[in-house]
């Protein structure tokens, strides 16, 4: 990981700029409290927050009742104060097939076709994410289906492989499960959907296919007899997170920081983690050849320069599952794992831990492709 640092954040959040429940400064304050390094805000079909000057580095501001707000980091930075970077993107929201656009200053008409929307974001130099691709909705609870429909598209940058909102909503099967999901949201999460993983593995066989995890939180109250705060921001920001490896951000401008984080996402240089119980900082998955050239997650390397030694490290003892070409080839209980590869293959890692006897999903890595 020479030259790279690990940053942790949350992508895909809604604020009062669309149908989210909290204003941006309070979300940032809570992000600071939760120890996040970055947040990418994606309100529906608007860049108003960006146009109004949101975006950049923030530090703790005044309190807002029990909450914290955030204020922009001034020219004279005090290095001791915690900082969080806010990137303002948008979620382009047709009836289905929602697409995140990050790092853009213009947005397309949501009535365009999926391919036209993808092409628009590409032309604008942004990063596009197929978000909640296998969302199913939940008729019983009045939640519509917002899955991605047209898989003949090309030119998108990323797929949201583990979507918190999809995962959580899928657990709602009746009043009892809704009660459990409401009170113990981390408990009901099952990880990426198999259909999403299978598609991802097929795409990886053809070429690089970087993924991220999305939060898609709105923090909206739900009224049923009394008002329930469904996944309030303080909880959502501590559940599903994205870890990125990028060059040190400390001395970069807001524009450079956004570009650097987006480049890391687009390269697949990172992993997704559900961190409500166990922080995942320190997870590593990399490959080394005999001359100790290092390949990070997201890389494609040639088998010719191998044999490659794949190393996995997790910060706490857990279940490490190594997946090659879509099939689990090794499962190990421990804190690290090493595997030698002399041929071709696409490798990715899933990590789990046990909680009260149940296996819970923890980490989903991006892939390392050893391919001619
Ligand atoms: Zn959406
Ligand atoms: Zn959303």
50-75 tens-digit pLDDT: 999 999 999 999 998 999 999 999 76
CA of 12 to the centre of ligand 2 (A): 6
Cα–Cα distance, 333 to 354 (Å, whole number): 11
Task: Give the pLDDT score at 259.
Answer: 98
User: Which tokens go with 163?
Assistant: 């979507």
CA of 99 to the centre of ligand 2 (A): 9
CA of 47 to the centre of ligand 2 (A): 14
Task: Give the pLDDT score at 80.
Answer: 76
CA of 236 to the centre of ligand 2 (A): 13
Cα–Cα distance, 328 to 347 (Å, whole number): 9
Task: Give the pLDDT score at 142.
Answer: 86
For 153, list phi and psi in degrees, rounded to 5: -70, 160
**Architecture of the domain delimited by 5-276:** Alpha-Beta Barrel (3.20)
**Which of the ligands is closest to the CA of residue 236?**
2
Task: Give the pLDDT score at 288.
Answer: 95
| Strand 294-296, strand 240-246: pairing | unpaired
pLDDT class of 76 with cuts at 50, 70, 90: low
Side-chain-side CA neighbours of 143 within 13 Å: the count stands at: 16
CA of 100 to the centre of ligand 1 (A): 8
Residue 77 has pLDDT above 70, yes or no: no
**Which of the ligands is closest to the CA of residue 214?**
2
Task: Give the pLDDT score at 200.
Answer: 98
Sorted by where each begins, the domain ranges of the chain are 5-276, 282-372
CA of 11 to the centre of ligand 2 (A): 10
CA of 354 to the centre of ligand 1 (A): 31
**Which of the ligands is closest to the CA of residue 20?**
2
CA of 357 to the centre of ligand 1 (A): 34
CA of 216 to the centre of ligand 2 (A): 4
Q: Are 104 and 63 in contact (CB under 8 A)?
A: no
CA of 70 to the centre of ligand 1 (A): 26
Q: What is the pTM of this model?
A: 0.97
Distance of CA 247 to the CA centre of its chain: 19
Cα–Cα distance, 21 to 251 (Å, whole number): 33
Residue 33 has pLDDT above 70, yes or no: yes
Residue 79 has pLDDT above 70, yes or no: no
pLDDT class of 251 with cuts at 50, 70, 90: confident
User: Which tokens go with 182?
Assistant: 């409401």
Mean of the per-residue pLDDT values for the chain?
Answer: 95
CA of 362 to the centre of ligand 2 (A): 22
CA of 43 to the centre of ligand 1 (A): 9
Cα–Cα distance, 43 to 20 (Å, whole number): 8
CATH top class, domain 282-372: mainly beta
For 244, list phi and psi in degrees, rounded to 5: -125, 145
Taking only the tens place, the pLDDT of each residue in 192-207 is 999 999 999 999 999 9
CA of 107 to the centre of ligand 1 (A): 16
CA of 215 to the centre of ligand 1 (A): 10
Percentage of residues in the chain having pLDDT higher than 90: 88
Taking only the tens place, the pLDDT of each residue in 270-325 is 999 999 999 999 999 999 998 888 999 999 999 988 899 999 999 999 999 999 99
CA of 113 to the centre of ligand 1 (A): 16
**Which of the ligands is closest to the CA of residue 144?**
1
């Amino acid at each position: 990981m020479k030259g790279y640092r690990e940053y942790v954040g949350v992508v895909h959040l809604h604020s009062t700029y669309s149908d989210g429940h909290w204003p941006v400064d309070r979300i940032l304050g809570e992000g600071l409290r939760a120890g996040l390094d970055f947040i990418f805000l994606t309100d529906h079909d608007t860049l108003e927050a960006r146009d109004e000057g949101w975006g950049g580095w923030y530090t703790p501001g005044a309190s807002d009742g029990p909450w914290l707000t955030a204020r922009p980091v001034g020219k004279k930075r005090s290095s001791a104060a915690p900082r969080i970077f806010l990137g303002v993107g948008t979620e382009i929201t047709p009836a289905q097939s929602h697409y995140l656009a990050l790092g853009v200053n213009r947005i397309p008409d949501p009535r365009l076709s999926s391919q036209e929307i993808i092409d628009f974001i590409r032309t604008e130099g942004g990063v596009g994410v197929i978000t909640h691709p296998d969302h199913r909705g939940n008729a019983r609870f009045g939640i519509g289906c917002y899955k991605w429909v047209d898989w003949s598209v090309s030119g998108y940058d990323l797929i949201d492989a583990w979507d918190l909102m999809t995962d959580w909503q899928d657990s709602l099967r009746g009043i009892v499960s809704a009660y459990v999901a409401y009170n113990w949201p981390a408990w009901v999460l099952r990880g990426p959907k198999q259909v999403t993983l299978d598609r991802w593995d097929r795409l990886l066989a053809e070429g690089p296919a970087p993924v991220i995890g999305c939060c898609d939180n709105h923090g909206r109250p739900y009224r049923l007899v009394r008002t329930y705060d469904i996944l309030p921001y303080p909880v959502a920001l501590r559940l599903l997170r994205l870890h990125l490896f990028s060059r040190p951000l400390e001395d970069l401008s807001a524009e450079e920081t956004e570009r650097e984080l987006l480049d890391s996402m687009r390269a697949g240089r990172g992993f997704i983690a559900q961190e409500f119980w166990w922080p995942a900082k320190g997870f590593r998955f990399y490959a080394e050849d005999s001359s100790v050239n290092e390949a990070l997650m997201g890389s494609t390397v040639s088998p010719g320069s191998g044999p490659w030694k794949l190393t996995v490290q997790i910060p706490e003892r857990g279940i490490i599952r190594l997946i090659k070409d879509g099939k689990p080839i090794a499962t190990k209980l421990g804190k690290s794992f090493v595997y030698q590869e002399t041929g071709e293959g696409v490798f990715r890692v899933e990590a789990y831990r046990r909680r009260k006897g149940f296996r819970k999903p923890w980490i989903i890595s991006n892939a390392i492709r050893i391919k001619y």
